[in-house]
Amino acid sequence: MSPFLQNITFDSVILGVITEQARPLMAGSMKVVIELATARPALLHSPKPIHIFRVPEVESAFRFVQSGKNGEKTVIEIHDDDVISTVSSTGPSWYFDGLGRRFARWMETRSAKHLVLLSRSGARGEAALTLLRELEGKGIEVIAPSCDISDESALMAALEHFPKRLPPTNGCIQASMVLKDGLFENMELENFNAALRPKVQGSWNLHAHLPKGNGLLCPAVFHRWGVWKSRPKQLCGG
């Protein structure tokens, strides 16, 4: 890295993009490289040293690069007999968790006393029950019915069954999601609709059936889109 101490700038380009979008430029550049290699072959050589790691050692490879001791090139080699450690998950793609729990705790710090937490799973699982006990222990009334807000009739039924003692609704945070990570061009219509339904139809249902004049905050209406083919386009709920 010492050359950078001499005000040397290092730039990188994506050759695949140049090949597709600027072929004359790519052809001219390759011509210059070939002429240079022919006229002065000693100037071109393979990078040395090359530090080689196998796929199961990928964590060690990244830590080696991070240490600054990598010198020239660090390469990951893939072999047919490589064993890759994985952490599998058999849980559902939706649950009473994540942003919903964080927002509930945040609202508690803002003196909220009545919370209605809608989710498809309802108050199931130890994490959800722990949250309810925690909030109730601080004097907060919490109702956590099972409700899919993208189902208009289910949302209407849930709203009708709220206890009459609850004060008027003062606001709503829309944090529902269905996770369907995948390449956009390969995504099935069913998965595409599943990712969008809680964001689009769910938000509309809340807008239509919550009391008018209340704020509807949608902090989780984000979808990831890549720009170049080197970072494929993706769609996911979240």
CATH 3.40.718.10 holds for 99-217: no
Q: Which residues contact 133 (CB under 8 A, 6 or more apart)?
A: none
* Local mean pLDDT, 10-residue blocks, the chain (238 residues): 71 87 92 88 77 89 82 85 72 57 87 89 82 91 89 90 78 83 81 88 90 66 40 45
Output the pLDDT for position 69: 74
Contact criterion met (CB below 8 Å) for 88 and 115: no
Output the pLDDT for position 222: 42
Output the pLDDT for position 45: 74
Output the pLDDT for position 100: 78
- The whole-angstrom separation of Cα 44 and Cα 33 is 10
Domain boundaries, the chain: 14-77, 99-217
| pTM, to two decimals | 0.52
Output the pLDDT for position 167: 84
Output the pLDDT for position 150: 92
Q: What is each CA distance from 94 to 100, 119, 198, in whole angstroms?
A: 11, 9, 11
- The whole-angstrom separation of Cα 237 and Cα 199 is 8
Output the pLDDT for position 138: 92
Contact criterion met (CB below 8 Å) for 210 and 203: no
HSE on the CB side for 129, CA within 13 Å? 3
Output the pLDDT for position 89: 55
Output the pLDDT for position 4: 64
